[in-house]
Amino acid sequence: MAKETDVKYIETTVACACGNNFKVMSNNEELQLETCNKCHPFYVDGKDGLGVSKAGRVEKFNRKYGLNKEEA
């Protein structure tokens, strides 16, 4: 590999618009984000928020098409 193409990884500070800061390894000295895992609506307290909304959609589908477990 040529010397001029070698990438040097350094510890980088990542700053989010919400104020959250964390460190990662990158070839840039500083990174700025608009959203992170603390402020993105997909995450709920750092956990995947998909389970709650998915359960609601399944219940809505079952009500719409009359597929309730109680009636079957």
- When mean pLDDT is compared over 2-6, 38-42, 44-48, the highest value belongs to 38-42
Domain annotation covers residue 13: yes
Taking residues 2-31, what's their average pLDDT? 88
Q: Are residues 52 and 72 in the same domain?
A: yes
**Which position has the higher pLDDT, 14 or 55?**
14
- pTM of the predicted model as reported, rounded to 2 decimal places: 0.50
Q: Are residues 36 and 53 in the same domain?
A: no
Residue with token string 């719409």: 64
Q: Are residues 19 and 35 in the same domain?
A: yes
Domain annotation covers residue 2: no
pLDDT digits (tens, 9 = 90+) for 49-63: 555 566 678 888 888
pLDDT digits (tens, 9 = 90+) for 18-44: 899 999 999 998 999 898 888 877 765
pLDDT at 7 (0 to 100): 81
**CB burial readout 36-55, b (16+ within 10 A) else e:** beeeeeeeeeeeeeeeeeee
Instruction: Give the count of domains, the chain.
Output: 2
